Chains A and B, each alone.
Chain A
Amino acid sequence: MLPVYLLNTIMATFIIITVYFVLYSLYGFLPAILSSILLIFSPRDFMPYLWGQWPERFAYAFIPIILYCFYKYYLSYNETEKKGLYFYLTAIFLGIQLLIHPLVFFHSVVSLAVLYALLFLKFRKFAFNLKHIIAGFLIFAVLFLAFPIQTFNIFSTLGIDPGEKQKSDFELGRLFQWSLNPKDYAGSVPPSYFSFSEMHGLWTLPFLLAGIAILVIRRQERDLFMLAWLISLYLILHRDFIGKATFLHRSLSATAHIFAPLTAIGAVYIVTLFRIPDNTKKYVKYALAGVFIYFIFSVNFAYAAKLLNKDTYNDFFSTLNEPEYKAAQWVLENVPPAYNVSILGIPHADKFVSVTSKKIRWMGAASQRVNRFYYLLDDDQKDGYARNNYVMLDYTMVGPINDVELYNDMQQFEKEKLANRTLVYDNDNIKVYKP
């Protein structure tokens, strides 16, 4: 059986395939292969797995495909021959994306609006076919209704969440910034996550700027495709201005998906900005591609190798310690799959939870069971949840952080609620009780 977190990791790599495919279709082999190789070593893509396995990673692979399908539909649209195939494919992929994660679905909707606007400005063609729209909507509705509880849940999160971090001050300066303030996300992701040089490598900046300049100067339809992709990400990253700041930093993880292709386009086409003979241009282009690959391996690959060293990301609060890992293995082998595990002892106070929730997910990954912070359950859920599921008391962290209150609470809980339950695991300061 393939654990769901490993499956998430494998699926998170699909962005490399879809970016390659779209770039190959629009610009040919060289920009496509350079983009994909650069993307392989993008820390904002591989680190989320270690930072807490964000489930929306796979959904990002659909953005270029959705844009591509709509782009093909728009370009092939004419009044005499109405073929809606690409429109229906857009609807299918949008529906699938919504099922994976609504955050990225809304990202795609904004991207489609921007792409439509840019193509309309260029071609002055109003692609609107009622038959296609109705059929596309029906396809989308079927997918939407396939998992109604999950999808209708989106509406409850569309309103402003009182716990959500809202921007009350209008900061004009942020309009000119791509990234976010690392201090606002302390404990969730490290400051390096917000650094261009650490996430992309400073060497990519001239090529990236050249790529954007080339697209803006040429403005061919494929260039508008790339610009729409870039503009929509900018809009998504500034959605806090309309009061939607939830998971804002997660949207930043989509940056490399557009920056890598723009950087590759810059490297391949920068030579077109200069007046030099055609045959010389060809040699310069391949020489630059060689330089590009050299930098990928000497900078990005080297940085990725350093990051992925287990000593770099081992952390007391976010990853499993040895006794926890052993307990998770025991759960994997001994707890029936139908049962969840409530955990007490992993610090759950506000100052810890953004980091320790990763530990809970790692516990879930290693044990292949749903794990919950017992203390963070709703009060009316607690008794039933603890009664019907396994309970794990993890005393390995309370000592080192000297949390006497949590220790006393756990002791009391054990005496009052677990007195009549069977202790099935007791090892290295971790106990597990059977329901």
Chain B
Amino acid sequence: MSMTPEKKEFAIFALVSMLAVLISGFMLFGAAGARIALGVFFLSLPFYLILDNFELSPGEKSVFSLLMGLTLFSSMVYLSGLVISFRISILLTFILLIIFNVIIKKLKLFNVKS
């Protein structure tokens, strides 16, 4: 899989930023801090993949998915957690969002990316 120079540059930037957040999280709050940083990444990932189907810049995808992950993901978990256990609903929400992304990709549901 080949990457455009813009995407490559962004991937390096994202990786370095994530490492910086992980390390500072660990230094400030120990293992819990590092887990939180990883958790934010985990919450945002499905939205990044979904937004990747649209004509958006890497920066837009990252910031939008970060905000959506922290809010929409946790809201979905909360709502489904009212009927099932929260741990299961975290996993279920993640899987459902990934499946939603695959469906968009396969069926070219929104057909907006050239």
A residues at B contact (CB < 8 Å): 2, 10-11, 14, 17-18, 21, 24-25, 61-62, 65, 83, 85, 89, 92-93, 96, 99-100, 146-147
Contact = CB atoms under 8 A, between A and B. Distances in A.
Contacts of B56: 85
A100 B67 contact: no
Contact of A92 (B57, B59, B66, B68): B68
25 contacts: A2-B36, A11-B70, A14-B66, A14-B67, A18-B63, A18-B67, A21-B59, A21-B60, A24-B59, A25-B59, A65-B63, A65-B64, A65-B67, A83-B112, A85-B55, A85-B56, A85-B112, A93-B67, A96-B67, A96-B68, A96-B71, A99-B71, A99-B75, A146-B79, A147-B75
Interface in B63-98: 63-64, 66-68, 70-72, 75, 79
Given A14-B70, A96-B68, A147-B75, 17 more contacts: A2-B36, A17-B66, A18-B63, A21-B63, A25-B57, A61-B67, A65-B63, A65-B64, A65-B67, A83-B112, A85-B55, A89-B64, A92-B68, A93-B67, A96-B67, A96-B71, A146-B79
CB-based closest 3 A-B pairs: A21-B63, A96-B71, A85-B54
B32 interface: yes
Question: Size range of the interface on B?
Answer: 10 to 19
Contacts of A62: 67
A146 B63 contact: no
Max chain B C-beta neighbours (<10 A), residue from A10, A93, A147: A10
Contacts of B75: 99, 146-147
Contacts of B68: 92, 96
Max chain A C-beta neighbours (<10 A), residue from B55, B56, B60, B79: B60
A229 B113 CA distance: 31
Contacts of A10: 36
Contacts of B67: 14, 18, 61-62, 65, 93, 96
Nearest to A7: B36
A138 to B, nearest CB: 15
B16 to A, nearest CB: 15
